[in-house]
Amino acid sequence: MPDLPAGLKHWRARLAVALVVGVAAIAAAQEVALPTLTDARLSTTLERARLVIDLSAPANFRFFSLGEPMRLVVEIETGGVGFDRGAHVPTGGLVADYRIGMIDATTARAVMTLSGPAKVQQAYVLEAAGDQPARLIVDLVPDTPAGFAAQVAAVAPEDVVPPAPPVPEAVSPEVVGPEAPMVPAAERPLIVIDPGHGGIDSGANTPDGILEKTIVLRFALDLQAILVATGKFDVALTRDSDEFMALEQRVALARRNHADLLVSLHADSFDQPQVRGAAIYTRDETATDVLAKVLAEQENKVDLLAGFNAPVEDAAVVDILVDLMRTESRRRAFRAALAIVDELERSVELRRFPLRRADFFVLQAPEIPSILVELGFLSNPDDTLNLSDEAWRLEVAEAVARGIGHYFDGER
């Protein structure tokens, strides 16, 4: 090959130096760019568990299962863990205890000791949104012994993690995550989540068998787990299985337990398939439009068909006091609805006027702020596709939870 001209030789030498410097700079930038773990929390029941890890930026991860004792391990590519977490004991459920720590300069491990065979139902990373950081979310559900054994058999020998040491007895059994609740138990607001319909009442449906009662129950369970994981709320469901509950029973449950907010969940249908999008309703004796009136009648009619008759209030009830309670609870319901809509705008298609009023029976409690969330319409193909997508439902549940958090922050 002929010699290059002197000027070209000099240019190539400078280019080689620049490439070396550039590669080194990229490597350094990549090292700096590794996200850190900023917080973690875990909620668990016998039916499911959720680990939420806050991140400074989205991170790569993997998971695998180990036996003797049964454990599920999540590894995260990270530059460090920005909190001190030893072993922690939730109140009971699929996960008996867990711990998080670095195993080398770029890898953290979250080790969950299981009380029975379990598997990862889904695991995903959410991008940062507003004041919510990026998050790694891992959902666990029960598994069969054979299924768990197959997971363990697939693990490479180098991945084996030593079992966690015994947890000191001083650890409080009231702790539901990696740290004491952010709000003392006596001060935590009670959120009652009401998944609409159930049992003999399927609600709206699609020709291929997608049922409203199933969609909203799944959403309610996710929303409950997210709210509980914050450590700021107590959360109850009007139903946690496929069972029928009269509308009056749902309201009575919220009133009997002095709920601070009632959130009723629905995914309805309409005779115009182009209608789509989420909306939030607060109570009013007069519906704001024809669609709101139709939907309200559909909900209230369910109990009449099931043999329910609304009780007649005693004439001696002091109307002025009731009106005052209703005015205050509706003010709070509107503030809660507004906070949730602000968060939903980033995650979901909303109707043109997402804040609406209708005469839904489930919103009747005079002393409890009550809202009804229409997640979408099963009569619309785009909404149906979203409502059937678990990742979409989780993203929306996160948005609703953020809105609820903002509402209560403003009420304190």
Give pLDDT tens digits for 328-379.
888 899 999 999 999 998 778 888 889 998 888 888 887 889 999 999 999 9
Weakest mean pLDDT among 180-184, 258-262, 321-325: 180-184
Per-residue b or e along 184-198, where b marks 16 or more CB atoms closer than 10 Å to that residue's CB: eeeebbbbbbbbbbb
| CA dist., res. 192 & res. 195, Å (int) | 10
Radius of gyration of the chain (CA): 26
Kindly compute the dihedral angle of the four CA atoms of residues 340, 345, 346, 349, in this order, to the nearest 10 degrees.
120
Buried b (16+ CB within 10 A) or exposed e, 111-142: bbbbbebbbbeeeebbeebeebbbbbbbbbeb
Strand partners of residue 63: 74
Give dist(CA 76, CA 38) in Å, integer.
Answer: 13
Say what the pLDDT of residue 128 is. 82
**Distance set, CA 125 to CA 51, 294, 374 (Å):** 12, 39, 26
Three-class SS state of 256: helix
Identify the band that residue 300 occupies on the pLDDT scale cut at 50, 70 and 90: low
For the four alpha carbons of 257, 258, 263 and 268, in that order, the dihedral sign comes to positive
8 Å CB contact between 115 and 98:
no
Segment 162-216, tens digit of pLDDT: 554 443 333 232 323 333 334 555 578 999 999 999 999 989 898 888 999 999 9
Confidence (pLDDT) at 292: 62
The mean of the pLDDT values for the chain is 78
pLDDT at 4 over 60: no
Mean pLDDT along residues 83-97: 69
Peptide linkage before 69 cis (omega within 30 of 0):
yes
For residue 67, the 8-state DSSP code is T
The answer to whether the Cα torsion of 94, 89, 85, 43 is positive or negative is positive
pLDDT at 125 (0 to 100)? 84
Give tens-digit pLDDT for 207-257.
888 999 999 999 999 999 899 888 889 899 999 888 888 888 899 888 888
Give the DSSP H/E element, type plus range, for residue 121. Answer: strand 118-126
* Contact predicate 256/209, CB 8 Å: no
pLDDT over 90 (residue 33): no
Confidence label for 152 from pLDDT (cuts 50, 70 and 90): confident
CA atoms within 13 A on the CB side of 273: 7
Q: What are the φ/ψ torsions at residue 234 (nearest 5 degrees)?
A: -95, 140
* SS3 label, residue 73: strand
**Residue 178: predicted pLDDT:** 33
pLDDT of res. 14? 45
Higher pLDDT pick, 210 / 160: 210
Specify whether the CB–CB gap between 312 and 264 falls below 8 A.
no
Determine if the pTM surpasses 0.85. Answer: no
User: pLDDT digits over 122-135, tens only?
Assistant: 888 888 877 778 88
- 156: which 2 tokens? 């490479």
